[in-house]
Amino acid sequence: MSDHDRTIAGVAKTVSEVLANKKYAIDYYQRDYKWEPKQLAELVTDLTSKFLQLYDKDHARRDVAKYPGYYLGAIIVSQKGNQRFVVDGQQRLTSLTLVLTYLRRLQLNRDTTVPIDELIFSESYGEKSFNLDVPDRNECMRALYEDGEYDPPSDAVESVRTLISRYREIDGLFPEELKGDALPYFIDWLKDRVQLVQITAYNDDDAYAIFETMNDRGLKLTPADMLKGYLLANIDEGAPRAHANELWRKHMRRLDDTTESAGSDFLKTWLRSQYAMSIRERRKDARPEDWDLIGTEFHRWLRNNHQQVGLTTKEDFSRFITHDLDFYARQYERVLKASSGPFDPVSPLRFIRYNADHRFTLQDQLLLAPLQVTDDRSTIDLKLELVGRFVDILLARRIWNFRATDYSTMQYAMFTVMRDTRGLTAGDLAKFLHDYLSRMAETFDSNDDLYVHQQNRGQLHKVLARMTDYITVASGQASNYIELTNGASVKYEVEHIWADRPQRHRDEFNHDADFSRHRNRIGGLLLLPKQFNASYNDAPYEDKVPHYYGQNLLAASLSPLCYEKNPGFLHFTQSHGLPFKAYEEFKADDIIERGELYRAIAKKVWNPEDLLSAVEDAE
């Protein structure tokens, strides 16, 4: 083997130097793109928050060159001849490519633009291809690059569906204040001041040896490592330090085995939930505060604020790991499992799953905020249930009223809830959250014209799934929430009761646009298996309604057969006073009437009084 084959080079490079006119392949066994919404949110928030700490509207663009660099981690590359393979870091590089694709489209038709195509595409022998070259993603990436949208085929790999989901979330994560005059400044900074350490090996053995060493032996100098070093250095040597070190390692290992960067995410979430007293104001020249600084440099924030946190003596530092971190890490792990693990329809933590399915990553800090190290298991579960129910109701009401639920829109309001619920008893927590909801302008009565459109289809899918599942369980049947939200083999879609045939409704609508608008209203929608839609979607209502009886109860309730020999359903509808009825035909007024039924169901599914009842039932 030549000396060159044994060479290992590590150098800090800007995003532009890493990506511009470069091409990287990924071995087949690690091609999956797996980042969750929380990880993307942290990346975008870290980048934008750090930039906003530096940016001043009076700066010239050339001043960006003087901004301090920002370190985004390491990537490991195996160089095989002229071809580069990413051994470690493809999740981050893929996410960066999605962000760059979004920024490229955000710049379209502006007078001032920053060229970034070369960071996404490269050209060789007259052919353009993506710099991160993964064949089964290329069609999707090309569509996102050109159109900003992609409708995947039914056989699309899971990575493609994940790419689409994460791309759609970027706009909600990207601050409005950076979408105007500051945009070219941010792109300049991202290209030329954000850095990665690229470690290049010239054979696979060396590349994977580096990968294993850095991960197994903890040689990546991450903010979490720096925080650990600071805390342990302030604990007495010997048994106290060894015990704290072992607890730290155990929890970080368990969390990181769950999802990439879960340990770091936990530290941010924990410190924010218990100690952040301020957040950056929503104005251009505002400075970052506790919440923002913990998000970008939590290790430095804690060193600078150790007295505020209560870290003065060696015993304080020891207790911070052996009691506080130990407690909150265990609860955070439970939150992660409730978010994406096996679903228990009767667990008090089930609401965490509902909120996670809406991609609402801000709930984690809210869930930890009221918890206290002295709480017993039943108190912890009750507090997690209360916060989960609150977020569930909050999201449903906002969706019903066409209000945004994305990260950047909600973070300020959710920070205040987090701060104000910190350490509350279960009773006080329930009252606070109930009062908060009672002051909301958005209720299920504040909008009587909810309809589906391209941007809210996914949200309404979850809303319809919850209502359908509520009816199912209340009628004495097993929960079908997971099936309805495509967690099983059968794939469900939001479908219209009316076929898209305006000519069938000329007696009620003169214009196709009026027909389409009415057809999209909530009362004209169901969740049905994709296979059912393929068979009956185009049929007239009268032909479809007999087949609805064999579907979920919300669909079956359109059929007269549902009201015969169905004691559980009949008892439920009568005892709850819900205006269910069968329809022999389905006209324009029936969609309105059916929408009122859905509103009545929603009020029962998302009832703020349940917050108070949960505490009463626990006493």
Three-state SS string over 288-347 comes to CCHHHHHHHHHHHHHHHCHHHHCCCCHHHHHHHHHHHHHHHHHHHHHHHHHHHCCCCCCC
Kindly state the average pLDDT of the residues 224-236.
90
Asked if residue 345 and residue 431 are part of one domain, the reply reads yes
Both structure tokens of 332:
């955070």
Per-residue pLDDT tens digits for 174-188: 988 899 999 999 999
Whether the per-residue pLDDT at 215 is higher than 70: the answer is: no
Q: What is the pLDDT confidence band of residue 27, given thresholds at 50, 70 and 90?
A: low
Asked if residue 189 and residue 159 are part of one domain, the reply reads yes
Whether the per-residue pLDDT at 608 is higher than 70: the answer is: yes
Residue 217's CB: how many other CB atoms inside 10 A?
Answer: 8
Asked if residue 480 and residue 387 are part of one domain, the reply reads no
Q: What is the pLDDT confidence band of residue 91, given thresholds at 50, 70 and 90?
A: confident
Which of 281-295, 338-352, 488-502 shows the lowest mean pLDDT across its residues?
281-295
Higher pLDDT, 155 or 403: 403
Asked if residue 493 and residue 385 are part of one domain, the reply reads no
Tell me, yes or no, whether 616 lies in a domain. no
Q: What is the pLDDT confidence band of residue 210, given thresholds at 50, 70 and 90?
A: low
d(CA 376, CA 148): 48
Tell me, yes or no, whether 450 lies in a domain. no
Whether the per-residue pLDDT at 154 is higher than 90: the answer is: no
Whether the per-residue pLDDT at 28 is higher than 70: the answer is: no
Closest CA to 189 of 69, 18, 97: 69
Which domain does 487 fall in, by range?
Answer: 457-605
Which of 167-176, 178-187, 209-218, 513-522 shows the lowest mean pLDDT across its residues?
209-218
The packing angle between helices 407-421 and 37-54, to 10°, is 90
Closest CA to 141 of 162, 169, 115, 155: 162
Rg (CA), the chain: 27
Cα-based distances in Å from 225 to 74, 161, 241, 299: 14, 33, 15, 9
Q: Which residues lie below 8 Å from residue 435, measured CB to CB, with a gap of 6+?
A: none
The packing angle between helices 90-107 and 37-54, to 10°, is 60
Whether the per-residue pLDDT at 113 is higher than 60: the answer is: yes
Q: Given this model, what pLDDT does residue 597 score?
A: 97
Both structure tokens of 165:
């989901």
Closest CA to 371 of 359, 382, 358, 363: 382
d(CA 244, CA 31): 37
Tell me, yes or no, whether 618 lies in a domain. no
The answer to whether 64 and 193 are in contact (CB under 8 A) is: yes
Tell me, yes or no, whether 615 lies in a domain. no
Asked if residue 254 and residue 237 are part of one domain, the reply reads yes
Which of 8-12, 288-292, 562-566 shows the lowest mean pLDDT across its residues?
8-12
Higher pLDDT, 364 or 129: 364
Whether the per-residue pLDDT at 110 is higher than 60: the answer is: yes
Asked if residue 92 and residue 204 are part of one domain, the reply reads yes
Q: Supply φ then ψ for residue 73, to 5 degrees.
A: 110, -175
Q: Given this model, what pLDDT does residue 218 score?
A: 42
Per-residue pLDDT tens digits for 533-566: 888 888 999 999 999 999 999 999 999 999 998 9
Asked if residue 319 and residue 176 are part of one domain, the reply reads no
Tell me, yes or no, whether 446 lies in a domain. no
Both structure tokens of 588:
């324009």
Which of 203-207, 380-384, 463-467, 524-528 shows the lowest mean pLDDT across its residues?
203-207
Tell me, yes or no, whether 448 lies in a domain. no
Whether the per-residue pLDDT at 209 is higher than 80: the answer is: no
Beta-strand relationship, 83-88 and 24-25: parallel
Q: Given this model, what pLDDT does residue 284 score?
A: 65
Asked if residue 251 and residue 184 are part of one domain, the reply reads no
Q: What is the pLDDT confidence band of residue 153, given thresholds at 50, 70 and 90?
A: confident
Asked if residue 379 and residue 232 are part of one domain, the reply reads yes
Q: Which residues lie below 8 Å from residue 73, measured CB to CB, with a gap of 6+?
A: 89, 92, 196, 197, 220, 222
The widest CA-to-CA distance across the chain, in whole angstroms, is 86
Q: Given this model, what pLDDT does residue 5 score?
A: 45
d(CA 520, CA 131): 41
Asked if residue 415 and residue 506 are part of one domain, the reply reads no
Long-range contacts for 126-135 (Cβ within 8 Å, ≥24 apart)?
129/23, 130/97, 131/19, 131/21, 131/22, 131/23, 131/24, 131/97, 132/24, 132/26, 132/86, 132/90, 132/93, 132/94, 132/97, 133/23, 133/24, 133/25, 133/26, 134/25, 134/26, 134/31, 134/159
Give the total residue count for the chain: 619
Both structure tokens of 237:
């040597």
Closest CA to 51 of 223, 177, 215: 177
Q: Given this model, what pLDDT does residue 217 score?
A: 42
Kindly state the average pLDDT of the residues 32-38.
83
Whether the per-residue pLDDT at 601 is higher than 50: the answer is: yes
Per-residue pLDDT tens digits for 327-339: 999 999 999 999 9
Per-residue pLDDT tens digits for 270-286: 999 999 999 988 776 77
Q: Which residue has the tokens 């309001």?
A: 413
Tell me, yes or no, whether 183 lies in a domain. yes
**CA pseudo-torsion sign 332, 337, 339, 345:** negative
Q: Which residue has the tokens 């924010």?
A: 272
Q: Given this model, what pLDDT does residue 495 score?
A: 93
What total of structural domains would you count in the chain? Answer: 3
Kindly state the average pLDDT of the residues 190-215.
73
- DSSP assignment of 75-134, as one string? EEEEEETTEEEEEE-HHHHHHHHHHHHHHHHHHTT-SS----HHHHEEEETTEEEESEE-
Tell me, yes or no, whether 392 lies in a domain. yes
Helix (H, G, I), strand (E, B) or coil at 525: strand
pTM beyond 0.95, yes or no: no
d(CA 163, CA 169): 10
Asked if residue 339 and residue 297 are part of one domain, the reply reads yes
What sections of 1-36 are H helices per DSSP?
Answer: 15-19
The answer to whether 462 and 357 are in contact (CB under 8 A) is: yes
Mean pLDDT of the chain: 90
Q: What is the pLDDT confidence band of residue 3, given thresholds at 50, 70 and 90?
A: very low
Asked if residue 77 and residue 94 are part of one domain, the reply reads yes
Q: What is the pLDDT confidence band of residue 59, given thresholds at 50, 70 and 90?
A: very high
